[in-house]
Structure 1
């Protein structure tokens, strides 16, 4: 595997499970020293610096970023991956749930980016990669709150890219389709017919299966790499064609 991240230090929020763990492992394999920030960092991949942090708490975020820089000496890459899911129409969730999800999914990325920027500005290869979603670009049923949060992440990514390019900080995001993660596993476990629900989710994506977290991790690694030095303000879809393709039904 390419060692294009040799000498760089990366922070991955929500990196102890699912897509975040795959990202942390992939960045490490490509030469980066990786810190995982998570409310429960016990599952952080071996060899990473596991730091307990809550992205909904500004003091916790600032302390965690300071710990990373103290322990690893610098900060070059930030992957804002921490997030929570939500189900329902616009009428189904109370204000408190809207505040909770937006606080984690949107303001969480803001808090960590804000704490990291002073260090990223000193890096010759600074990059931020935000984890978005197909929900930001396609209307999905029963996902009003989640879609709103990820739509905000997409808009935030572009605004940050414009703001920080003159400082040498690239900002991009990945938009995964429905990925085979623990959150999806929990949703399926509570479905009336888990097998049928999984089949429906797979059929919704043109390539006919759930997205593998490793596929998302490889996309993140590209966007974080100096090899993507001319790529900023971009949303890279890793969705099996779900957003842009309109295939005929399979026979």
Structure 2
């Protein structure tokens, strides 16, 4: 239980956090109308959770990301990013099948096999040279393809921006993450720390943009929703 709690904390607010305030951001005067347009009827709760996640990020995730970026050479960072990206291929393949896209699933399986073997555990990407193009799918996208297109924005505790659909979909995707089957607690924690360092380091350039935003919460929400909508539209 302690290990699971620590892993959850270490993975907190990778996209959200960093430079936020200690209290919930104050909404702009037009916030209620913007929230309706963004399907954010729980804005009060979401702002409070955003502030909490930002605190966790400030004291845990961001320092790890800064240390990772400082200590780990850039070429090694690329290899680590590729390694964790390769571990997402089983999730993508399963969701392509759920979406009725067997050709895409076969291509993803090919990518995973080639990169796991010839790519040394996914640290390199020879599959792309074979025209096995990478895509990313998850259960949230699958549920959208099945008809759940519009879903309320929801800031998940220790996770960050989601919709209700994507939050619930995450539980279905969890068994498809190979790192969840590591039995050794030390190895599991090391992988979690490495993954967090890689993700939070990649998000560091966003810190200044968030800090300078007139309404940081609204900026993160709107950008995330727009990006998510684009992902789903591409797949449909």
* TM, length-normalised to structure 2: 0.29
The answer to which structure has the higher strand fraction is: 1
The answer to which structure has the higher helix fraction is: 2
* TM, length-normalised to structure 1: 0.28
